[in-house]
Amino acid sequence: MKKWVKAILLVIFVIGVLVGIGMKKETLIEKQQKRELETSIAKLLVHDYENVKEIEFKGWGYSRETGTWGTTVIVNANSQINLSFSGLSTLKEIYSIRYNPSTFKLKEKVNIERLEPIKDRVTEIESVSLDDIEVKHSIKLGE
């Protein structure tokens, strides 16, 4: 093979490797953000609802149409709640919370409508302990 063909193939290979490494790094950062946000969501649920014992995250999805991230959470095996976010970095990016009132079994600790918006309560929420709560994350770090 001519030297210039080998050089072009080598450049293509190096670019491919660099792109692959960049994608893997982005995926790791995204996984870490999702995992940390799941922990924050768990603290939010424990903060706002009574008798939360078990929290299970069912995974994440991204909507290109709305530009939002969403996750479904099962609490105490019988209450489902869906949350969406404009980004993955903090609870301050919460976009919406949805649940079916006829099947959602959790009782509010206080009247949530009277509380300040979540974005204004993040510091208080983040101080909540999850020591006695079983949290099943959808994101396993190190895999």
pTM, entire model: 0.79
Domain encompassing residue 50 = 3-136
How many other CB atoms are found less than 10 A from the CB of residue 79? 18
- 108 lies in a domain? yes
- 65 lies in a domain? yes
- Categorize the per-residue pLDDT at 3 as very low, low, confident or very high, splitting at 50, 70 and 90: confident
- 13 lies in a domain? yes
- 143 lies in a domain? no
SS (H, E, C) the chain: CCHHHHHHHHHHHHHHHHHHHHHHHHHHHHHHHHHHHHHHHHHHHHHHECCCCEEEEEEEEEECCCCEEEEEEEECCCEEEEEEECCCCCHHHEEEEECCCCCCCCCECCCHHHCCCHHHCHHHHHCCCCCCCEEECCCCCCC
Q: Can you tell me the mean pLDDT for 59-88?
A: 95
Residue 142 predicted with pLDDT over 80: no
Model confidence pLDDT, tens digit, residues 106-134: 998 877 667 788 899 999 999 999 999 99
The pair of structure tokens assigned to 133 is 């709560």
Domain count, the chain: 1
The pair of structure tokens assigned to 109 is 């600790």
Q: Can you tell me the mean pLDDT for 82-93?
A: 94
Model confidence pLDDT, tens digit, residues 10-67: 667 667 655 565 555 557 888 999 999 999 999 999 999 999 999 999 999 999 999 9
Assign residue 76 a region: left if phi > 0, alpha if psi is -120 to 50, beta otherwise? left
Give pLDDT, residue 109. 86
